[in-house]
A and B are shown apart, each in its own frame.
Chain A
Amino acid sequence: MNACPERIVHLMHDYLDGEISREHELELKSHLQSCFDCQAHMHELSDVVAFVKGAAHVEAPGYFTESVMARLPKEKSHAGFSRWFRQHPMLSAAALFILFMSSTIFTNFNDEQQFSFTKQENVIIEGETVIIPKGQVVKGDLVVKNGNVQIDGELDGDLTIINGSKYMASTAVITGKTEEINQAFDWLWFKMKNGAKEVLTLFERDEESE
């Protein structure tokens, strides 16, 4: 066998791969007929193929698919959103814009809408009205937000009213400055109008670009 060219072994493998030309096959066959060692080699190789092919088919256990599904990473709730965003960039930009716009407006709105006032002694609260009763003296500043003030007594300090009105009795005395601010609501109103305008122009621009 030592005398046989390596080429013959190559031809054997080509033959086993099923990738041998007619010409080479004849060459191999004629060699095998004359060479016992190569014949044995070829035989052993064929046996190897038969041996390996004798391996039984193996099947995955019955619960395999369920096990895989259980091992898959849980999709985070935002993953669905992010996929949607990727597929609709323009719409998601608009949606985000509206979301943020409205949320700022509403948080401000809610903040500003709350009735609040500076805690002072001798003050009576009736609904959303802060009353300084007759004959009483309140020392210090008084700030009332989103509520009214009725002054029958005396206020020894500044009075600030935001989004509200004041009712003064003839007996009322305010030693400090009085300031009425209704701008907060105006400002809010202005913001809302502006926001709506911007959204509209955005949509118009969208239509133009399409």
Chain B
Amino acid sequence: MDALVNKRVKQVLKGDKDAFAEIVDLYQHRLFQVCYRMLGNRHEAEDIAQEAFVRAFINIHTFDQKRKFSTWLYRIATNLCIDRIRKKKPDYFLDAEVKGTEGLNMYSQIAASDDLPEEELMKLELQDRIQYEISRLPDKYRTAIVLKYMEELSLQEISEILELPLGTVKTRIHRGREALRKQLSKQPHYL
């Protein structure tokens, strides 16, 4: 697969734009999933995942073909997601546009600091509950947990994506797990 991707990358470098469509096809679901788990709504996830591919296309000459293409793509996407999360925080409550957007539920839009009342939590479907708990994690831990458990990447790959030492990645995952443990033990859950 890497050989195929590198072949497509070379074609794109030579100006064959259509070869890039194949690259997008190969990675679209993975990138979309990361963005969705990071941002918690399909609309934003779509926008950011697309933006990640556009950036990859523009900067494809900076990609080192000795490395894994997916790692590079994931890095672009996670950085964009974190930027978006940080940008969005201050005007969080003013963001009225998201209401009634398809695939978006209000729970995923609630700021991490806002705890839902217990009876509201009980009404959540399992999938919404997972997304809600993930969204309450600080973004550092969230990124690590999403890459580890939802993308099922190895610690080594995560450390390359985030450009962090392996030890730091482990610490973030440990703290992420502990944070989730505390979140879940405080409230009734679906275990």
Segment touching A, from B15-23, B63-71, B78-86, B107-115:
B15-23
B: interface residue count bin? 35 or more
Measured CB to CB, the nearest residue on chain B to A64 is: B28
Task: Identify whether the interface residues of A are mostly helix, strand, loop, or mixed.
Answer: helix
B124 at interface, CB cutoff 8 A: no
- Is A3 an interface residue, CB under 8 A from the partner? no
B10 in contact (CB, < 8 A): no
Count: A-B pairs, CB below 8 Å: 110
Size of the chain A interface, CB-CB below 8 angstroms: 36
The B contact surface, by secondary structure, is helix
Does B93 belong to the interface (CB within 8 Å)? no
A167 to nearest B CB, angstroms? 62
Contact partners of B14 in chain A: CB under 8 A: 83
Residues of the B chain whose Cβ atoms lie less than 8 Å from the Cβ of A59? 29, 32-33
Q: Is B97 among interface residues, defined by CB-CB distance under 8 A?
A: no
The answer to whether B150 and A52 touch across the interface, beta carbons within 8 angstroms, is yes
CA distance A55 to B130 in the complex (A): 7
Question: Is there contact, CB below 8 Å, between B177 and A48?
Answer: yes
A-B contact pairs, 5 of them (CB 8 A): A13-B173, A52-B150, A58-B32, A69-B21, A73-B57
Binding site for B on A (CB under 8 A): 9-10, 13, 16-17, 19, 41, 44-45, 47-61, 64-65, 67-69, 71-73, 75, 79-80, 83
6 closest pairs, A vs B, by CB? A60-B32, A13-B174, A60-B28, A52-B149, A68-B53, A48-B180
